[in-house]
Structure 1
Amino acid sequence: MMGAPIKSIAIPDEVVMSKIYIVRGIKIMLDRDLAELYGVETKVLKQSVKRNISRFPKDFMFEMSEREHT
């Protein structure tokens, strides 16, 4: 049994680049922006990552402090 077909859309480079920030000296994307690009809710994206955490490098994500977030 096959799952639903994967939708593919082109996202302009400028849109992606505008969602990249520098935090702790590294380039990051916020979970809400990444979820928006994938067309899913932030909660769904985070659940998917947690379910499949072994597929990601250890430094794939981190929680920002309140100070970093503002």
Structure 2
Amino acid sequence: MSKTKQEQAVGITDEIILNKIYYLRDQKVMLDSDSAELYGVVTKRLNEQVGRNIDRFPADFMFTITQEEFENLKSKIATSSWGGRRTLPNVFTEHGVLMLSSIIIANKLFK
């Protein structure tokens, strides 16, 4: 039997969230794929919503990492499943993650 969204949310611990926070460009950030996983959406859809609401994501909320930063992250995360990404990931600062929540919630409410 699959878990409801509420049951899934209860299972998210501080440790899980802390393990998804990285330090890049002197900022704490979270990858788009990790944010999508925590919010229970597909990364592609999360990035589509960001693109549709790009004016809500200034540079201090979100940025796309460089190839060098991406390679550095991959080398530090041995258990990650990076799969066939075709684009460099977006990362979100604390304010960006909060903005994501408002966009994702609004999008889910009106489906």
TM over 0.5: yes
1:32 and 2:33 are equivalent in the alignment = yes
Q: Structure 2: where are the runs of 5+ without partners?
A: 72-111
TM-score (norm 2): 0.52
1:8-67 deviation per Cα after TM superposition (whole angstroms, max 9, x unaligned): 422100000000000011000000100111111111001112222334444211011111
Q: Structure 1: where are the runs of 5+ without partners?
A: 1-6
- Where 1:62 maps in the other structure, the secondary structure is strand
Give distance in 2, aligned partners of 1:57 and 1:63. Answer: 12
Pair 1:48–1:19, CA change in 2 (3 A): same
Give distance in 2, aligned partners of 1:56 and 1:26. Answer: 16
Q: Which runs of 4+ in 1 moved over 6 A?
A: none
Tell me which residue corresponds to 2:53.
52
Which structure shows the higher helix fraction? Answer: 2
Identity of aligned residues (%): 53
Larger RCO, structures 1/2 (Cα 8 Å, 6+ apart): 2
Give distance in 2, aligned partners of 1:56 and 1:65. Answer: 18
